[in-house]
Every structure is written in structure tokens, then in C-alpha cells.
Amino acid sequence: DSGVTQTPKHLITATGQRVTLRCSPRSGDLSVYWYQQSLDQGLQFLIQYYNGEERAKGNILERFSAQQFPDLHSELNLSSLELGDSALYFCASSGLAGGGDTQYFGPGTRLTVL
Amino acid sequence: SQKIEQNSEALNIQEGKTATLTCNYTNYSPAYLQWYRQDPGRGPVFLLLIRENEKEKRKERLKVTFDTTLKQSLFHITASQPADSATYLCALGGGYQKVTFGTGTKLQVIP
């Protein structure tokens, strides 16, 4: 158990809808990262927050947004969903703002868009 | 642009042998490199980190080398076991750069 929790575990929704994925980092970790992993695809970095502030941005679509709250949990909002958004979404946390730090991954949320 | 290459083909190896996985990168000067293990449907799990000034690192049956001249890291699992079967990801980063993951190599250890 990495100490990172993600809810929900599974999510099935329809195209055009909006969903929110939630992540609670390990106790004491200030950085939260979001990744998307499609079938047979590598981990695609979406965005990183550090202590409530956006730290780095990857290939995140404009339809997606995220935030980190004062209690350090984070939410990833996906809107106007398309079939291609079906994927595993992972959240990871670490103690530092930048590199050289281990990332601890949550169990993921499996999103299915029908 | 930065590119990380891992052998996309699965690596099949006999139990007890040493498995060697490769991670090559271009257009990148990472300060460190990490290896993670990922089982199907689960989040990656950190295994080892090696910094640019380190040539080799070991942890139990695992060994990682880092050659910044060749822009390559090798990941070895000695005395491999069927339980080692998984996908192994390399990840590069440095300073305040975001960590970039390779697509991973699937290892199958055959009893």
C-alpha cells in the first residue's frame, strides 16, 4: 500500500459528460501528480501541483483541469468526455517540488466512456 | 524533443537467469533516472533511483547502471523468478523538470 488513495476505483460514463477524480496524497507529501495511461500506452504526465500551486504541466487537454486544495488532496476534472478519454488515471505524490524524489502511485481510477 | 526508448517487445527469460532491460534517451540530460515496476491494472511501484554522478546502484537482486555518455541505463534482475514478471518503466528527471516515463518493457519469467 503506497499510502496514496484514489476514488472512485471505477467510473463508467457517457460521451459529453463531466467527471471528477479524487486523490489523497501520502501523509506529509506536498506534490501531487496526475497521469493518464491508455491501453498499451505509457504513462502520460498531465499536471503537477505542489502545496496548492501548479508546478508543471504536461499534455493536458483544455477539457481537463485540476486543483490541489489546502488539505493537499487533489481533484482532476474531465469534461466533454470523448471515447478516447477512456483510460486509467493515476495520481502520485512525493515530498519534494522537483526531481530526485520518489513518486508514490495510487491504485488508479479506471474511466470508461461509452 | 525529449525521447525515452524502452524495448516495446516483451522479454521472455527462463527462471534463474539474469534479465537485462534497456532504457535509452535522447535530447535529454537528466540529473537522475528511476526504475519502476508496474503490474497489470495497478500503479507503478518505485524500485531504484540512480543519479547522474553514479555509475551503478544495487538493491538485493536488482542492479542499475547509468551511462550518461551513451545516454543509456541498464536494469538487471539476477536469479529471476516468475514473481518478477511485470512491466518495468524507466523515468528520467532533473531539477524542477517533470519526470518523464518510458513506455515500459514487459518481462515474462518462465518457470
Which H, E and C letters describe chain A, residue by residue? CCCCEEECCEEEECCCCCEEEEEECCCCCCEEEEEEECCCCCCEEEEEEECCEEEEECCCCCCEEEEECCCCCEEEEECCCCHHHCEEEEEEEECCCCCCCCCEECCCEEEEEC
A90 touches chain B (CB under 8 A): yes
| Pairing state between β B72-77 and B56-59 | unpaired
pLDDT of residue B3: 85
Over its length of 111 residues, how does chain B's per-residue pLDDT go in tens digits? Answer: 778 999 878 999 999 999 999 999 988 888 889 999 999 989 999 999 998 889 999 999 999 999 999 999 999 999 999 999 999 999 987 666 677 889 899 999 999
A56 touches chain B (CB under 8 A): yes
More confident residue, A28 or B29: A28
pLDDT of residue B70: 93
In chain B, where do the E strands start and end? 3-6, 11-14, 19-26, 32-38, 45-51, 56-59, 62-67, 72-77, 86-93, 100-101, 105-110
Tell me the three cell numbers of residue A88: 486509467
A61 touches chain B (CB under 8 A): no
**Contact residues, chain A, for B94 at CB < 8 Å:** 99-100
- Flag whether pLDDT at A26 surpasses 70: yes
**Contact residues, chain A, for B44 at CB < 8 Å:** 43, 90, 103, 105
- Flag whether pLDDT at A110 surpasses 70: yes
pLDDT of residue B30: 83
Range name among A17-26, A30-39, B2-11 with the lowest pLDDT average: B2-11
**Contact residues, chain B, for A107 at CB < 8 Å:** 42-43
Of A99, A105, A110, which has the smallest distance from its Cβ to B44's Cβ? A105
pLDDT of residue A96: 67
Query: Residue range A94-99: average pLDDT?
Result: 67
pLDDT of residue B37: 97
| Residue range A55-92, pLDDT digits in tens | 888 889 999 999 999 999 999 999 999 999 999 999 99
pLDDT of residue A42: 81
Alpha carbon B92 to its chain's center: 10
**What 3-state class would DSSP assign to B99?**
coil
pLDDT of residue B96: 60
